[in-house]
Amino acid sequence: MKVLPSEYNFLIPLKTPSLNRLGIKKDGGYIVDEDLLKLSNFLISFGMADEYSFEEDFLRYSKNNSLIIFDFSISHGHYIKDFFKNIRRILKLQRNLKDLIVCIRNYFNFIKFTNNKKVKFYSRKINNQVNSSKDITIKEIFENIIQKDKKNITLKIDIEGSEYDIVDKILLYENRIDQLVMEYHDTHKRKKEFFENMKKIKNFFYISHLHANNYQSYNSDGFPINIEISFCNKRYLKDSCKQSFKYPVDRLDYPNNPNLKDLEFSFRNTNNE
């Protein structure tokens, strides 16, 4: 158990009674507040790749739920290229028929999921400015693609480092977002940016949960390099709630990499010092 320096204490989550997990019990699952989930019937997902159990569970939660996904790393072309790559490797005896079957199954699952009438999928990259036809801005999403009266939104962000760049734009629409789930990457290299982002977000949201992604390890000061963070809009929580100091949480958190032990960390409880 890594005990974090006191400078991280501003990240101590508020303890809420209604946390629940959406998605698989490994990389791809995230923690949300179920009370807020009952209010929200719309999910925006930035970053899906080929693991979308979180999005599937959101749809299952209520028949009224729908979602929209933006991810330029995945598309029909991605699966087609993967298919031919597997064919070439089978011919070179580097892969077997089982690998090809998995590839085909994944593609058909992707087609089935994205053809769901409650799902809209865009193979687009989230960016602050449009530099190519693949780029799309936060403003374009919130003001043109999504109805302007759409509120009570759940927003999930897992875009491999680009999360640092879009926080200011996201917060322009905080009044429409009930809860926010993000994964922050490379905190060992971007600690100053990470702290700045957290302070901006915490002007409008409380942290409700943290979980370390064990595909990476700890920073030199004990904080996880990659960290999953759940936020609840301040409209719904009071800062008088109790705080939660130790992570991971049993029966809620599971290792992203199931072959490795989950990363344990705790905050300094200065009330007891």
- In tens, the pLDDT along 159-209 reads 988 899 999 999 999 999 999 999 999 999 999 999 999 999 999 999 999
Q: Specify the pLDDT at position 239.
A: 66
Mean pLDDT score, 6-16: 94
In percent, the amount of the chain with pLDDT more than 70 equals 98
Q: Structure pTM?
A: 0.93
- In tens, the pLDDT along 43-97 reads 999 998 889 999 999 999 999 999 999 999 888 999 999 999 988 888 888 888 8
CA distance 26 to 248: 13
More reliable by pLDDT, 149 or 208: 208
| Model confidence band, residue 271 (pLDDT cutoffs 50, 70, 90) | low
Q: Specify the pLDDT at position 164.
A: 95
* Whole-number average pLDDT of the chain: 93
pLDDT at 154 over 50: yes
